[in-house]
Chain A
Amino acid sequence: MITFTLRSKTVFMGTAVAALLSLAASLSTFFLSREYLLRQRDEVAVTQVRAAARLAVSTLTRSEDPLEVLLSGAQLLPGARAALYQDGSWLVSGVGLATEDIPSDLIRSLESGSAGRQRVSIRDESAVVVGFPIQTTSDTWFIGVMSLQELERTLSVLRGALAIGGLLAIVGGGSVGWWLSRRVMEPLHDISSTAEQISGGDLTKRAKEPREPDLARIAQTFNEMTTSLRARIDREARFGAVVSHELRSPLTVIKGAAELIAAKRDELPTRAQLGSDLLGERVHQFERILNDLIEMSRYQSGGVQPVLEELSVKSLIETLCHRNGLDPRIIEVEDALVVVDVRRFQQVFENLHRNAELYAGGLEAIRSEVQGEFIALHFDDAGSGIPKGDYEYIFEPFVRGNQHSAVPGSGLGLSITAEHVRIMGGAIIVGRSPEGGARFTTRLRRGESSE
């Protein structure tokens, strides 16, 4: 279904209302004036024809010649169109008038002895036909024809004027609608673009407050909402940070104690050795999750500054592979300079490596591709790939493959990875490797000193 914007709807409504109103006004004006003018014209016609008939009657008293009688009356009428009926025969004067043009209804009313008038169309010309029985003699009628042509012209001028007025009203209505909608929509547009920026993560943005009190209210409410939202997010980030920091001291002690026990592992009974191993492993895992949480809360509260430097991407990857016990044969990276924060890149590498190990049988290849000012690093794993539907969610915090809930982790690894890459001026995307596994691609800026 096509949806219209509020703006176009307002304009449309304005136009429609103006059209309806002006149509109603024009039609009523037209028909009222037409009726009024016609009635006036009718009365004029009746008066004139009556005068003509009287003249004809007075002529009839002097003369027997019906033609003389007819003409004496007809001379008073414009166009001299008249007819005389006497002794069963018609006598007609004037241009373009024939006995057939006299309407039968009129003849019938004359036959019954009363005068009558009727509007007719004679050869596309509208006219009014008035008939009077001549009292002195029975079955003698005088009929006069008065043209309405002039009235028709007046009416057509009126019609034209009203149509133009109507059109102007429609355009005016549309413009008013457009202006109104602009007036209303502009502040709303401002609010919506501010909302967009805010949803993009910039909580410092505020909507402009328009002068109209009603609209200002919306902007105020919106800004108040943003402020309280920001306060809330800050509070949560602070809470997370404080909790994570407070957990650190006890964790240091637990970790130290676990290490003290582990250092004497050989002297422990088998059971205690098992306990020590489990303790050490879980403490390590706990620490990693805690570090992830701290890292994430730091990103959420903003103000993270990377320590950027230019390094050879090849030796960087080689060193990291060596450190993580990866086969150097998987490296298919060209020699170029890359801009990285070493600590963060190391975490990116380790997160992608660990993810591949946990979920997809390890990394199969690390490939590079120079893309303009950027260098793309593809981390291809040996798994069966990630469903396309998960692509957009995978970097969200706490999103984990549901079949992998048994795998330990904070669910923050990939979102921290994405934040790390972003803060280094790059981007990370997920796709499919040529071998069909998952491919995580980090796009990082190339060093300037590279030729």
Chain B
Amino acid sequence: MVSRVLFVEDDSKIRQVISASLTDEGFDVVEAPTGEYATSEVDLESLDLAIIDLRLPGINGIDVVRNLRQRTTIPLVILTAHGDSSDVVTGLEAGADDFLNKPIAAKELVARLRAILRRTTDGATPDPAVATSVGSVRIDSSRYEATVADARLHLTRTEFGVLRALVHASPATLSRQALLEAVWGYDYLGDSRLVDMQIYRLRQKLESHGLKEKLLTVRGVGFRLIP
């Protein structure tokens, strides 16, 4: 299956060269030169992933992320200036799932996209021995759906991935590193803020379904889901 990727970037030369590399690697790239184009002209249904440069003229990248997040569950990857912590934090808060530092390298980008797509579209039937529910929380990996007491839980792909990992591991505690590996495909040293932000969102969504203090933080270790 060819993955369709939205690439929002104002610099036409960068767009050109990155699209060329992604196309060579078998991606179908939808180019968007502005935030306005990305939020109004692109058919989100056909997309598997979006890459958004945070520095855009007109509607800025953060607003694009916020807009897309409200309308789609696909992974959103932001491009941030090297080591700029505040960009990463605002991006993640707006709803981004992952970030890459500029200048991006096509090779690294492709590896990153593959890892994310593999983890979020990996519909393989889980081992029957592995739990698919914890308490009233039930997950259906084939349809990326989660329910709380049969009520549908609206999750992004990444949130679903985190929940799935926690459900599979329950009642054991998952470390940040384990979550980074299971959901983002990072090895040991990913950015722990990615996990914290998703846990925060997931916890809010669970709480809105009346599940308070079920997703616990174990200090110095990680997170666990209890029935």
A binds B: yes
User: Could you tell me the distance between the alpha carbons of A342 and B193 in the complex, rounded to whole angstroms?
Assistant: 11
Q: Which one, B18, B104, B107, B189, contacts A320 given CB within 8 A?
A: B189
Interface presence of B13 (CB below 8 A) = yes
CB distance from B150 to the nearest CB of A (A): 37
- Knowing A309-B176, A447-B220, the reply to whether A260 touches B14 (Cβ < 8 A) is no
> Which residues of chain A come closer than 8 Å to B176, judged between CB atoms?
309
Q: Which one, A255, A304, A447, contacts B103 given CB within 8 A?
A: A255
Interface presence of B24 (CB below 8 A) = yes
> Per-residue 0/1 for A284-306: is the Cβ within 8 Å of any B Cβ (1 yes, 0 no)?
00010011001100100000110
Interface residues of A in 219-257 (CB under 8 A from B): 245, 248-249, 251-253, 255-257
A449 touches B189 (CB 8 A): no
- Knowing A252-B14, A256-B14, the reply to whether A294 touches B219 (Cβ < 8 A) is no
Interface size on A, residues (CB 8 A): 35
Interface presence of A6 (CB below 8 A) = no
A343 touches B191 (CB 8 A): yes
CB distance from B62 to the nearest CB of A (A): 18
> Per-residue 0/1 for B190-201: is the Cβ within 8 Å of any A Cβ (1 yes, 0 no)?
111100000000
B82 touches A252 (CB 8 A): no
Interface residues of A in 86-121 (CB under 8 A from B): none
Interface presence of B20 (CB below 8 A) = yes
> Which residues of chain A come closer than 8 Å to B193, judged between CB atoms?
307
CB distance from B31 to the nearest CB of A (A): 14
Pull 28 A–B residue pairs with CB atoms less than 8 Å apart, ordered by A: A245-B81, A248-B102, A249-B11, A249-B13, A249-B103, A252-B11, A252-B102, A252-B104, A253-B11, A255-B103, A256-B18, A256-B20, A256-B21, A257-B17, A259-B105, A287-B103, A291-B83, A295-B82, A298-B84, A304-B85, A307-B191, A307-B192, A309-B192, A315-B188, A319-B187, A342-B189, A342-B191, A346-B189
Q: Which residues of A contact B (CB under 8 A)?
A: 245, 248-249, 251-253, 255-257, 259-260, 263, 287, 290-291, 294-295, 298, 304-305, 307, 309-310, 315-316, 319-320, 323, 337, 342-343, 346, 447-449
Q: Which residues of B contact A (CB under 8 A)?
A: 11, 13-14, 17-18, 20-21, 24, 81-86, 102-107, 176, 187-193, 219-220
Q: A343-B189, A346-B189 are in contact. List 6 more A-B contacts (CB 8 A).
A: A249-B14, A260-B17, A263-B21, A263-B24, A323-B187, A449-B220
